[in-house]
Amino acid sequence: MSYKGETLAKKWARQVVWTMLNEGFSDENERHPVLVLASEVGGDVPVARSFGVDDRRLLAVDQRTAALARFSEAYPNVETFRGTMLAALKRTPRIAGAHLDYCGNLSKSVVYDVALALRRLRGNGIIAVNLLRGREHRSRIRIGGTTKPVGEWMRLLKAERPELKPYQVRLMVVMYALKTQGVSPWSLAVYEYQSGVSPMTTFVLRQDPRCFIRHNKTFFYANQPAHEDADWKRAMLDSEFGNADTFAVDRRTWAAWKAHRTMGTYDG
Ligand SMILES: C[S@@+](CC[C@H](N)C(=O)[O-])C[C@H]1O[C@@H](n2cnc3c(N)ncnc32)[C@H](O)[C@@H]1O
């Protein structure tokens, strides 16, 4: 099963997110669930398993009944919740982490979800928020006492701090919007990557101050699907931490990639 956004770049980005989520798991939060957005693909599950996270520790949320039905067929041991992420968070008092992998832009509802998720975090847990970037200009969000479209907030901040890069400006908008909701997390990393035709950004946030801001430029890839795919295949095959299952690549496809690699080509 595959959906439009399920590109090789996406598979790689998931591994990066889970590497960070995994850093936030500890004795303090081992009994609490990790929230993910399900989709029909459920791409988080095999990656979580590769980090030793048991299916029963995940809570997979989706507001689409059809998506959850397919998800549950593939992953019957993962608990699911049908409804919004906000509703799921409201009934879950403590969490160990979350991968809020939306298919949309930064918006008011994303800010509410992330603020509540951060409040629910226990231990050094991490929240990863994956968004479409670049088309968020019309969504209105509140900063301080004023509500304006995201694009306008970005223009205002950029005018004040012209030296900032777009990802830093976007991060500042997110941080100010969260502060307005009463939470002031730390940013652990910002990743930007191109998933097919969609430019994506991932913010990795935590409440614990032991962190740093990192922006990984290797996640910028030109929108050239053929070359991009070749790069990602090579990266996956060379990776020390992943395999066909964890990248959610069909095992026969994986074997074919390996064979082509041995012959020095991916063509065919
Ligand atoms: C990009 S997909 C998740 C993909 C998944 N993380 C993976 O790696 O395979 C996003 C899913 O979240 C659902 N969704 C988006 N916003 C939501 C919200 N606020 N509450 C509940 N479900 C939501 C969509 O229906 C969609 O199936």
235 inside domain: no
Q: What is the pLDDT of residue 38?
A: 97
pLDDT score of 225: 34
- Looking at ligand 1, which atom is closest to the CA of residue 83? 21
Token pair in block for residue 230: 């070749």
pLDDT given for residue 266 in this prediction: 54
Task: Phi first, then psi: give them for residue 135, nearest 5 degrees.
Answer: -125, 30
* CATH at 144: 3.40.50.150
**pLDDT the model gives residue 223:** 28
CA Rg, the chain, in Å? 19
CA of 67 to the centre of ligand 1 (A): 9
What is the reported pLDDT for 221?
Answer: 29
| Residue 227 belongs to some domain of the structure | no
pLDDT at residue 228, rounded to an integer: 43
Within a domain: 142: yes
159 CA to centre of ligand 1 in angstroms: 34
The answer as to whether 83 is a domain residue is yes
Domain presence at residue 86: yes
Domain with 155 in it: 8-222
Domain count, the chain: 1
- Each residue's pLDDT, cut to its tens digit, for the chain (268 residues) gives 455 667 888 888 898 899 889 989 999 999 999 999 999 999 999 999 999 999 999 999 999 999 999 999 999 999 999 999 999 999 999 999 999 999 899 999 999 999 999 999 998 899 999 999 887 778 999 999 899 999 999 999 889 888 888 888 888 899 889 989 999 888 878 888 888 778 888 988 988 655 555 554 333 322 233 334 455 677 677 766 677 877 778 889 888 888 887 765 555 3
What is the reported pLDDT for 20? 87
CA dist 245 and 247 (Å) reads 5
Residues with CB under 6 A from ligand 1: 5, 14, 36-37, 39, 41-44, 61-64, 67, 84-85, 101-103
Which residue's CA lies nearest to atom 7 of ligand 1?
A: 43
Rounded to two decimals, the pTM is: 0.84
pLDDT, residue 241, reads 62
pLDDT at 199: 87
Predicted local confidence at residue 5, as pLDDT:
66
How confident is the model at residue 10, as a pLDDT?
85
CA-closest residue to ligand 1 atom 16:
102
Examine residue 1 and state whether it is found in any structural domain, yes or no. no
Predicted local confidence at residue 65, as pLDDT: 97
Would you say residue 238 lies in a domain? no
Is residue 249 situated within a structural domain? Answer: no
Q: Name the closest-CA residue to atom 27, ligand 1.
A: 39
